[in-house]
Amino acid sequence: MKVISWNVNGLRAAHKKGFLDWFGDEAPDILCLQETKAHEVQLPDEVKLVEGYTSFFSTPEKKGYSGVGLYAKKAPESVQYGFGDRFDSEGRTIIAEFGDFVLFNIYFPNGKRSADRLQYKMDFYDAFLEYAEKTRKSGKHVVVCGDVNTAHKEIDLARPKENVKVSGFLPKERAWMDEFLARGYKDTLRIFNQEPDNYSYWDQMTRARDRNVGWRIDYFFADDEFAERLTGAFILSDVYGSDHCPVGIEIG
């Protein structure tokens, strides 16, 4: 099973840049999207109703902001939008059950705008972790994908020293990721690839992608037991259409 995650930075914009052609060629079993920036009613039918897939979209109260989507060849057994708390109004989460694992597709908040938004981001992290742990205790495996908006280690961004005081690489954000992994989760890419210069986001304003001055802020995580079933993890850095590129895993 191939599962791919992509922050498309606007699904309607990505559609104009060949999203459906890429989707058809890649043909993942499950595709998770973040930052769709559209309510479902704003999407053209060819985007909502892709042949061979069942689709789900979580949209925020505010138009043109946030949003996540999920396409699956085999429909999930259940779908939930959000954690059932104050964070759900921004349309950042789809939680879908596939057999013995639950897939969390999440567009985690960005903390750069203000101190309040940074605190919101940290609170969101904690709410997510609490819900993920609750899911594991129910007997289900947990797989998490999406734009986490934090680079975990120095190897995960091109210029760590210059960004140590920037949200996305703050010590408190990285410490939360340490705690998350210590609870029994794996950063799936690092199971298979320990090399530097593997990034998933590049600033468009500075044409950073041309120089590969990037950040790895898009992840797949899996609980330790489920991670043993993975046969691969990858970054599709040659795919354009967004300031992020797709990332993915192969499940045996």
Cite the active site residues: 147
81, 48 Cβ separation under 8 angstroms:
no
The C-alpha atoms of residue 187 and residue 208 are separated, in whole angstroms, by: 25
H/E stretch holding 221 reads strand 218-223
Collect all residues with Cβ–Cβ distance below 8 Å to 32 and sequence separation of at least 6. 3, 4, 5, 6, 68, 69, 70, 94, 103, 105, 145, 146
3-class state of residue 25 by DSSP: helix
Take residue 165 and report the two structure tokens written for it. 């005081």
In whole angstroms, what is the distance from residue 154 CA to residue 1 CA? 31
Tokens representing residue 54 in the block? 């069942």
Q: 24: phi > 0 → left, psi -120 to 50 → alpha, else beta; which?
A: alpha
Question: Going by DSSP bridges, is the β-strand pair 101-107/141-147 parallel, antiparallel, or unpaired?
Answer: parallel
